[in-house]
Structure 1
């Protein structure tokens, strides 16, 4: 790697880590280009050489808080005896963390990032490859996918391939489970329901399991 590329990568990290510090210390609503640049020790013009808009900074900084989820989902899935159980356990872990940290998950999955958001995920993991250590191979396609519909589909397809779900039901299961999560997540994010994260997780999982187990091929 050339010295210039190393320097650019180092600068990129400075700004992302400064944004993460502001999130921890002051919250998302306090993030501005100027504040991030000041905290990193540079001016706003320099920051714009690396980030075209503040939403990109927020996305990358939010990914810094995402590792507890990616670490734990691997542990959750290890408990599954087959691909269908692993799929449901992955949902359980995702619900738990997304309802505990709705602003982080909103920034990662729902915030408008403009064009090519998938490339942003790939770039993050290229810069922080250690975040992928101990991640199961079957989970990696989902981690590199920001689109929620596509993200969960890979695990549904595995369950169908193993004969637990009819292939004709893949689209319906994938869409319905995502809609259930999105509905609860919107309520939590906007404070429309006074559920605790645990209550929200239990309710959401109840409906997800009803959808999945109703459409499966046989009991396991």
Structure 2
């Protein structure tokens, strides 16, 4: 790696780790360019030499908070005997962790970044390549896909090998599951309902299981 690349990578890491520390101490909603610059030992304007927008730096830092989810995901997938069951299990894992850290998951999967997120994910893993260690080839494509709709649909599409499911059904069912999660996470963040993380996760999964019941009944025939 060229000296310039090493320097840039080091600077990116300085700012990301400073942002992670601030999120841990003050919450993601209280992060600012000024605070990050002070924590990293640089002026806030220096940040924009490496990140187009503050939201991009927050996105990178948020990725540091999903390790537990990514580590548990293979275990949840292994619980399913069919791809429909694996799909449901993957949502169970996602809901468990996302409602524990709703602001982090909103930053990763809902917030407007003004840039293609696949480019940002590839950039992130080029800096933190060690985050990929230990994941199977079944999991890695999901890690690289920042779009919640397409990454969840990938598992459901594999269910077509096990039963006759129309592509439009997969598209619609998957989109409705994503919309259920987005609606609930937004409700929690806006404090429209007073729900504990486990309650929000359980309620979301109940709706998702209801959406999936016709596909599960199809497998039972």
TM-score after normalising by structure 1: 0.93
SS of 2:220's partner is coil
Kindly report which structure 2 residues correspond to 1:67-216, keeping only aligned pairs within 5 A, or say none: 67-163=67-163, 165-216=165-216
Whether the 8 Å CA contact 2:103–2:189 is kept in 1: the answer is yes
Structure 1 residues 53, 84: CA separation in 2 closer, same or farther (over 3 Å shift)? same
User: Is contact 1:164-1:218 (8 Å) kept?
Assistant: no
Distance 1:127 1:33, change over 3 A: same
Once residues 168 and 41 of structure 1 are traced to their aligned partners in structure 2, the CA distance between those partners, rounded to angstroms, is 52
In 1: Cα distance, 2:212 partner to 2:166 partner:
11
Report the counterpart of residue 33 of structure 1 in structure 2: 33
1:121 offset after TM fit, Å?
Answer: 1.0
- How far 1:102 moved relative to its partner? 0.2
Aligned mates of 1:200, 1:148 — CA distance in 2:
18
The DSSP-based 3-state class of the residue aligned with 2:89 is helix
1:219 matched to 2:209: no
Number of residue pairs aligned between Structure 1 and Structure 2: 220
1:186 shift after superposition: 1.2
Quick one: distance in 2 between partners of 1:201 and 1:103?
15
Q: CA deviation digits over 1:173-194, x for unaligned, max 9?
A: 1111112111211111111112
2-structure distance, mates of 1:103, 1:135: 25
Cα shift readout 1:169-215 (whole Å, capped 9, x = no counterpart):
11111111112111211111111112221111121111111111213
Question: 2:28·2:104 contact (CA, 8 Å) conserved in 1?
Answer: no
The answer on 1:56 being equivalent to 2:52 is no
- CA-CA distance at 1:164 after TM superposition: 6.7
Q: Is the 8 A contact 1:141 1:154 kept in 2?
A: no
Structure 2 counterpart SS, 1:65: coil
TM-score of the pair, normalised by structure 2 = 0.93
Give the direction of change, closer, same or farther, for the CA distance of 1:32–1:115 in structure 2 (3 Å limit): same
Once the two structures are TM-superposed, the CA of residue 166 in structure 1 deviates from its matched residue by 4.1
Two-structure CA RMSD over aligned residues (Å): 1.6
Provide the C-alpha distance between the structure 2 equivalents of 1:143 and 1:117, rounded to a whole number of angstroms. 12
The 3 A distance-change label for structure 1 pair 180 and 27 is same
Structure 1 residues without counterparts, runs of 5 or longer: none
**Alpha-carbon separation, structure 2, partners of 1:135 and 1:82:** 20
Which runs of 5 or more residues in structure 2 are unaligned? none
In the alignment, the residues of structure 2 paired with residue 143 and residue 213 of structure 1 have an alpha-carbon distance, to the nearest angstrom, of 27
